Amino acid sequence: MKSLRFMVIVLLWISTMAFAESDAQKSFDKLKTLAGTWQGPVTVDPPEEDMKKGTLGHVLLRVTSRGNALVHEMYDPEKPDDPTRYDHPLTMFYLDGDRLNLTHYCDAGNRPRMLARPSPDGKKVEFDFADLSGGNEYGHMYHAVFTMIDANHHIEDWTYMMPGDQPVHAHLDLERRKDGSGDRGR
């Protein structure tokens, strides 16, 4: 009887692990459908002095490494493509076993890693802070939420934690660019 109880517990544990893995895979597959060039208004809270009202955010998402990674690049098309001089944050999404990871290569010189928490309806993927590589002198990215509205519209909410644990929230309401312009020649 003890061995039967043990076997049932093991089977339940294995089925739970398989379910968690499928949730991570489903979320990753959903994010990969965002591959393309995106543009839309950005709002920041608290407001930044140098950000004009109506500022457009530009994002390029591309699947790479035979489908094993998704690259997310934020850029300003009005500035030369020189990430050594201008803001050019890059984020990688990838599966690690049964977890969907996000690693953000930040302009602050660090690499926060976050773990996905999918929503039950499959339209939202939320990433919670896990750990940080590199310094924290200028703060670090702390949280991200991707909400898929439809094939040509998604929302990104990012939280940056300033020194002293002061959050800055950025909201990007992005539409897919149909003309392919703004893809930075890629």
| pLDDT exceeds cutoff 70 at 44 | yes
Query: pLDDT (tens digit, 9 = 90+) per residue, 78-115?
Result: 777 776 766 779 999 999 999 999 999 998 999 999 99
pTM of the full structure: 0.82
Beta-carbon contacts of 128 under 8 Å, excluding residues fewer than 6 positions away, are 114, 115, 117, 143
Average pLDDT, the chain: 85
pLDDT computed for residue 81 by the predictor: 73
Partner residues linked to 148 by β-bridges: 154
Residue 179 confidence (pLDDT) = 75
- Which fold does the domain 2-176 belong to in CATH? Lipocalin (2.40.128)
Long-range pairs for 100-107: beta carbons < 8 A, 24 or more residues apart: 100/24, 100/27, 100/28, 100/125, 101/130, 102/127, 102/144, 104/141, 104/144, 106/134, 106/140, 106/141
Which tens digits make up the pLDDT trace of 56-77?
999 999 999 999 999 999 987 7
